[in-house]
């Protein structure tokens, strides 16, 4: 499961969705692959076998005839099995890794995703593994991943509707046990008056995002230890519905083949906590046919109990265990927000991405605020197959005091995969993941997972 997050990241667009150019011609094709490898998850060693099948089919877009434009219908199927060959203490029962198949949601991983269209097209819908999902300008939901631990798979929903009059976006983390969701509706008022007017570039949006069962306190036994649902999550003794609402305005000042420039502003409220204000600009420059540069710079004012990008890449763990922002010990994120007492703070967010030849993508973002241990860093590399080589990596870390903390992998998410085609369809691969695993004391500990192996892949 560890490389699923990485593959999903490769398929996802950058944060500046509204600035993406029209996608290239959609071609029919797919891949069938099978591989075997050996590696380690925490203290145990496994032989991993995997069969995957992915397919892309050109289908009509909803806004035009098939002769004018098409979009893609994609789906991915997989059967990953981990066979335990070395069982170090503490010992486990069975050869097949139980944590991979001990929940109903785990069986949904066989059909990893089904997706129609792209987020910037008139109609887009994806069910399955999600991420990174960004809603609107990303001030509330920014790069959210619904699968970030090796022991829990979720089948979520992400959809977009875009028209000349406005549109909507929706995200749900899990169809089996739903609790995190977000939706945004936006309007282009001048679309009803004059679609050729400059002011048709103005958009006004409204967002609601919520965690319907946000933990406040974790259940403890008579010894003070956190009680754990085996392999699932810490047991929660006190939880509540926490809700954010926000309004936003953007204006596309420039929209040419060379440059796109869109200033925006967001005002959000975390109900029961505090408001936050964001003022930023999205820019996309294409100085060459083979190069595109995407960027975003944003000023932030955070009320005393407001945390920006609340639903981020690491939220599925942070909702139980969140560090930084003055909290002396890791605690549920909502409790950390409620207990903040440093007053309002100022901060900056920036991201920068480069796309070369449409198959090499490098992207990074960093946010920091007044006070210690509240920075966030994201890095992503995607090298689609170039000759015999294919590379990809993703890094995410919160609670940083400076960018130099990148070398400290504690409580960081790191995924890296490399594939080299030796001859024909045969390849060797290596992947490494640093993620979290729920341990018996109710905390999430960082674990290292790696796998080395080989296989064959047939494209058609």
Kindly give, in sequence order, each residue whose CB lies less than 8 Å from that of residue 289, ignoring residues fewer than 6 positions away. Answer: none
13: tokens are: 């667009």
- Collapsing DSSP to helix, strand or coil, 99 comes out as helix
Give the chain's residues under pLDDT 50. 1-22
pLDDT of residue 450: 92
Neighbouring C-alpha atoms within 13 Å toward the C-beta of 156: 25
- Distance CA(335)–CA(459), nearest Å, equals 50
pLDDT of residue 323: 83
192: tokens are: 């009803």
- Distance CA(146)–CA(104), nearest Å, equals 16
Q: Using alpha carbons, list the distances in angstroms from residue 55 to 11, 66, 113, 124, 459.
A: 13, 20, 11, 17, 10
CA angle 107, 111, 117 (to 5 degrees): 145
pLDDT of residue 206: 99
pLDDT of residue 169: 98
pLDDT digits (tens, 9 = 90+) for 34-83: 999 999 987 889 999 999 999 999 998 988 776 678 899 999 999 999 99
- Collapsing DSSP to helix, strand or coil, 409 comes out as coil
- Distance CA(366)–CA(400), nearest Å, equals 10
pLDDT of residue 92: 78
Q: How many CB atoms lie within 10 A of CB 58?
A: 15
pLDDT of residue 299: 98
Partnered with residue 383 across adjacent β-strands are: 360, 391
Give the global pTM. 0.88
pLDDT of residue 362: 96
Cβ–Cβ < 8 Å for 271, 301: no
307: nearest Cα among 281, 327, 280, 325: 325
Kindly give, in sequence order, each residue whose CB lies less than 8 Å from that of residue 445, ignoring residues fewer than 6 positions away. Answer: 436, 437, 439
pLDDT of residue 24: 56
- Distance CA(314)–CA(399), nearest Å, equals 11
């Amino acid at each position: 499961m560890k490389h699923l997050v990485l593959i999903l990241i490769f398929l996802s667009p950058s944060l500046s969705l509204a600035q993406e150019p029209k996608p290239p011609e959609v071609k029919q094709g797919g891949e069938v692959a099978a591989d075997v490898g050996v590696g380690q998850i925490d203290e145990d060693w496994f032989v991993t076998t995997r069969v995957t099948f992915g397919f892309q089919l050109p289908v009509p877009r909803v806004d035009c005839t098939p002769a004018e434009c098409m979009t893609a219908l994609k789906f991915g199927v997989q059967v990953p099995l981990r066979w335990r060959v070395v069982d170090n203490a503490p010992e486990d029962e069975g050869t097949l890794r139980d944590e991979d198949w001990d929940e109903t949601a785990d069986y949904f991983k066989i059909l990893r995703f089904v997706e129609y269209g792209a987020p910037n097209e008139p109609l887009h819908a994806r069910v399955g593994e999600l991420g990174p999902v960004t809603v609107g300008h990303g001030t509330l939901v920014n790069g959210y991943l619904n699968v970030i631990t090796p022991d829990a798979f979720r089948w979520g929903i992400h959809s977009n509707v875009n028209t000349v009059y406005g549109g909507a976006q929706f995200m749900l983390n899990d169809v089996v046990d739903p609790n995190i969701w977000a939706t945004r509706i936006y309007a282009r008022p001048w679309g009803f008056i004059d679609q050729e007017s400059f002011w048709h570039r103005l958009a006004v949006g409204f967002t609601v995002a919520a965690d319907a069962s946000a933990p406040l306190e974790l259940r403890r036994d008579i010894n003070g230890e956190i009680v754990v649902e085996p392999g699932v999550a810490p047991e929660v003794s006190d939880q509540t519905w926490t809700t954010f609402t926000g309004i936003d305005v953007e204006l596309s000042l420039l929209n040419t083949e060379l440059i796109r420039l869109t200033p925006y502003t967001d005002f959000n409220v975390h109900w029961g906590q505090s408001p936050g204000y964001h003022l930023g600009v999205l820019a996309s420059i294409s100085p060459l046919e083979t190069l595109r540069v995407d960027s975003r710079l944003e000023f932030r004012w955070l009320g005393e109990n407001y945390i920006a990008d609340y639903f981020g890449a690491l939220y599925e763990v942070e909702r139980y265990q969140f560090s930084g922002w003055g909290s002396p010990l890791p605690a549920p994120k909502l409790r950390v927000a409620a207990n903040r007492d440093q007053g309002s703070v100022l901060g900056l967010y920036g991201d920068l991405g480069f796309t070369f030849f449409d198959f090499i993508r490098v992207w990074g973002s960093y946010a920091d605020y007044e006070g210690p241990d509240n920075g966030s860093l994201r890095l992503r590399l995607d090298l689609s197959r170039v000759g015999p080589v294919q590379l990809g990596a993703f890094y995410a870390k919160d609670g940083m005091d400076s960018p130099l903390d990148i070398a400290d992998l504690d409580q960081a998410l790191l995924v890296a995969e490399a594939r080299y085609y030796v001859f024909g369809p045969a390849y060797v691969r290596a992947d490494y993941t640093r993620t979290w695993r729920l341990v018996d004391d109710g905390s999430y500990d960082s674990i290292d997972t790696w796998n080395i192996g080989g296989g064959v892949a047939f494209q058609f």
